[in-house]
A and B are shown apart, each in its own frame.
Chain A
């Protein structure tokens, strides 16, 4: 291997690592706040990419119907609960978020013919469809079990993952799609050629990570999420509801997932089930960080990305095996160095 190949592989690894880093951050966030190991994270990646691809192919993405259906279901359940509790004040909120918002998005998509719109508008519409699915999934699958054990929540995650993958196949078919790059530009740095999409991925990841840092460090809602992660009872006593924190973290995770999908869609062909492997690599990075540390998760993700790209050069058949085997020494090391923490009661 000469220097040029090493640089090329390194570039590849860092680009993938940046995406894994975003997903790892989302996984750490969701686990810290809700104790959910968010396996369906990858489906949001695929939904984001494929929704955008559907727009570009001039089709109406099936995720739109999922948004309307899930919204209606959430609205129905919450309305029944609100009426039973005599809390009719909640109805306005329910109608706004679960019925009006999806309907407005659907109206825009059907009326605008997104295929002819500029890329920014297509991306915005894709996010508008996929991101609200995050809190809806939380409401339908996790909220009724918010106090359950980590294991039960994990089982729910597997179920949600399988359901969403199945729906993905139904919506988008078995063929993969690619989207047009954000930029066709190419830059030459010495012997290394860097294309525009690479810079987009790195730039967007960096901006997103800084934005998340600011959100958690400066805004009260960000601090409220951290507080819930640190001390659930204390947070509830401040009036920070577990449900609000759960929905907010799922919204962020869905947003990060969908955006990651949109960023990688021009580089790799995305299939309905691509998200799972991508998400799983983010998960390996999150595990390296013990599902608690954000900086460690990001560093782990870069490591996973580099390992993946170099192993694809040396032993491409074993690329996934090598990446996922990384988790074994990490787990051994973690179990030797960290004291065992009992799951909260």
Chain B
């Protein structure tokens, strides 16, 4: 494996007295898609929020070779980390174009005035957003909203793109389209950390995967190995399986 762009060691997150994440270790290398799968409530969103600095955490987060102390969202965004949250968090009363422009806010703040070019690239990836560029974000369909959320994140020219359940609430055809686009994004060199309940689709495009259950990593491995692992097949890919993987 090449040098990791993101490495988290012994990450713990607590809500009050309840620990929601226990000693998570995880690595994402440049140009890689890494997926975290697991059932609802396993702590996947909590993990992303903690990495992004939206939640206080214990443990070490190393981003681009630098251990991040006093993690601040704004600082991480400026360094090239972006998160597309589960709820999209779009600016509903603003146009598609303005939403995208704001994605480049940190770049603009640091004197980069090249956002027009990036926007053309985003429109190349999501032609549908170009058609709707003057429309208010709040009036878009579910799939378009997800595209806008991803496009907005790409406007920051991220080194690491974190996606939280991009398939959530979308029709199967749109899910397929989104996953195609995610797989394509990898070719542009951005590292992707993909959190998904849709394990089958996620493992298909990912290089490496982690299975998160009740706040701990239950399994990890190359995504192909994981996809063949009988425990994963039974719980997440098979038709009949239910219940969690028992830690060995």
Contacts and interface: CB of A to CB of B under 8 A. Distances in A.
Interface of A: 85-87, 220, 223-224, 226-227, 230-231, 233-241, 244
Contact of A223 (B73, B83, B101): B101
A223 B100 CA distance: 11
Interface stretch (B5-13, B87-95, B169-177): B87-95
A237 B89 contact: yes
Output the residue of A87, A235, A238, A240 with the most chain B CB within 10 A: A238
Interface in B59-105: 69-70, 72-74, 77-78, 82-83, 85, 88-94, 98, 101-103, 105
B91 A239 contact: no
Contact of A231 (B70, B73, B91, B98): B91
A86 B75 CA distance: 14
B52 interface: yes
Nearest to B78: A239
A216 to B, nearest CB: 10
Nearest to A232: B89
A306 to B, nearest CB: 30
A289 to B, nearest CB: 15
Given A85-B70, A238-B152, A239-B74, A233 B85 contact: yes
A240 B105 contact: yes
Contacts, number: 72
A151 to B, nearest CB: 22
B81 to A, nearest CB: 10
Contacts of B88: 234
B52 A237 contact: yes
Contacts of B102: 220, 223-224, 227, 235, 238, 240
Nearest to A241: B74
**Interface band, chain B:** 20 to 34
A91 B40 CA distance: 45
Contact of B85 (A227, A230, A237, A244): A237
A230 B89 CA distance: 9
B15 interface: no
Interface string B97-125: 01001110110110000000000000000
A87 B90 CA distance: 31
Contacts of B156: 238-239
B134 interface: no
A154 to B, nearest CB: 25
Interface in B215-248: none
Interface string B26-69: 00000000000000000000000000101000000000000001
Contacts of B101: 220, 223
B80 to A, nearest CB: 11
Contacts of A239: 73-74, 77-78, 105-106, 109, 156
A238 B105 contact: yes
Contacts of A244: 74
B28 to A, nearest CB: 18
B105 A233 contact: no
